[in-house]
Amino acid sequence: MQAHLVLIDAMNLIRRIYAVQERPFLGLGELSDNTKQQIVHNTKQATAKALQKIINEHQPTHALAVFDCHGKCWRYKLFPDYKKGRKKMPEHLALSLPDIQDSFLEKGVDSLESEQDEADDLIATLAVKMALRDQKTTIISTDKGFLPLLGNHIHVYDYFNKRYFDQAYVLDKFSVNTDQLIDYWALTGDTTNKIPGVAGIGPVTATELLKEHGSVAAILAADNLKRTVANKMKDAEMQTKLAQQLLTLKQDIPLGFNLKDIRLHLEAENT
């Protein structure tokens, strides 16, 4: 029997659900403690229901909720401005995470958190290990950073819009192949994570360059570039290599557990 591992990008799921629960109270000024606790309570309930729907819909044999580390990950050491300006998680939500993890465990889904790696790196490591065994993984997330992992054994599912991200989506959205995404973002920049691209090279030029040359390395080695483009690439060569490193998910993190440890034993409930 083929294993099917569902990996939940936990904070992606929780923070989006929290935003929906918080929305009716926005514009009312400073939230009272009672209101904050009500929003957190509603978030816990909605998240538990979402988890059950995910289990029911995907029918995994194994599942795991993966959380980001509490401190700053290794990417900040390489690039201090990583994710600069991103809105911090509300403290009352952060304090509720252990309770949410407990509610996951009640449904047979354990949680994983690393001290120095992002959830994305842990998820990538697990998904690739499964793929190497010809086993299926479904990543539950709206984060585009998982798209370079797409393949026969690795799928990415948007729970909120009830759709899979696939090769056709990538081509339509970015006009490049899945295996060119890291280079595409290294050229154009990744505004979500505040990673700069090559100054003066936007999506159209990046797409044209990658279609013609295939990769950033090939672009840098090409001798037929327009002088202006060649100068831009040369000036940003070190920055581009750093961007590639920041954008590439780790796939070799020591995990310390076996697949059997995260097998689902509970029957899916009707919702």
pLDDT computed for residue 269 by the predictor: 47
pTM equals: 0.94
User: Range with the lowest mean pLDDT among 86-95, 142-151, 171-180, 243-252?
Assistant: 86-95
Per-residue pLDDT band at 164 (split at 50, 70, 90): very high
pLDDT computed for residue 53 by the predictor: 97
Per-residue pLDDT band at 266 (split at 50, 70, 90): low
Report the distance separating Cα 195 and Cα 86, nearest Å: 12
Q: Where in the chain is the domain with CATH 3.40.50.1010?
A: 4-169+250-262
pLDDT computed for residue 29 by the predictor: 80
Give DSSP secondary structure letters for 131-154. Answer: HHTT-EEEEE---GGGGGG-SSSE
Report the distance separating Cα 237 and Cα 231, nearest Å: 10
pLDDT tens per residue, range 14-50: 999 999 999 999 877 888 999 999 999 999 999 999 9
> CATH 3.40.50.1100: does it fit domain 175-247?
no
3-class state of residue 110 by DSSP = strand
Report the distance separating Cα 224 and Cα 110, nearest Å: 53
pLDDT tens per residue, range 207-241: 999 999 999 999 999 999 999 999 999 999 999 99
42 CB-contact burial (10 Å; exposed 0-12 / middle 13-18 / buried 19+): middle
User: Range with the lowest mean pLDDT among 110-119, 168-177, 205-214, 244-253?
Assistant: 110-119
pLDDT computed for residue 252 by the predictor: 93
Report the distance separating Cα 255 and Cα 265, nearest Å: 21
pLDDT tens per residue, range 1-14: 789 999 999 999 99
Mean pLDDT of the chain: 93
For 111, the token pair is 């949680």
Pairing mode, if any, of strands 110-113 and 163-165? unpaired
pLDDT computed for residue 87 by the predictor: 86
Per-residue pLDDT band at 271 (split at 50, 70, 90): very low
User: What DSSP element (H or E) covers 136?
Assistant: strand 136-140
For 270, the token pair is 């009707």
Q: Where in the chain is the domain with CATH 1.10.150.20?
A: 175-247
Dihedrals φ, ψ of 72, to 5°? Answer: -85, 135
pLDDT computed for residue 115 by the predictor: 78
Q: Which CATH class is domain 4-169+250-262?
A: alpha beta
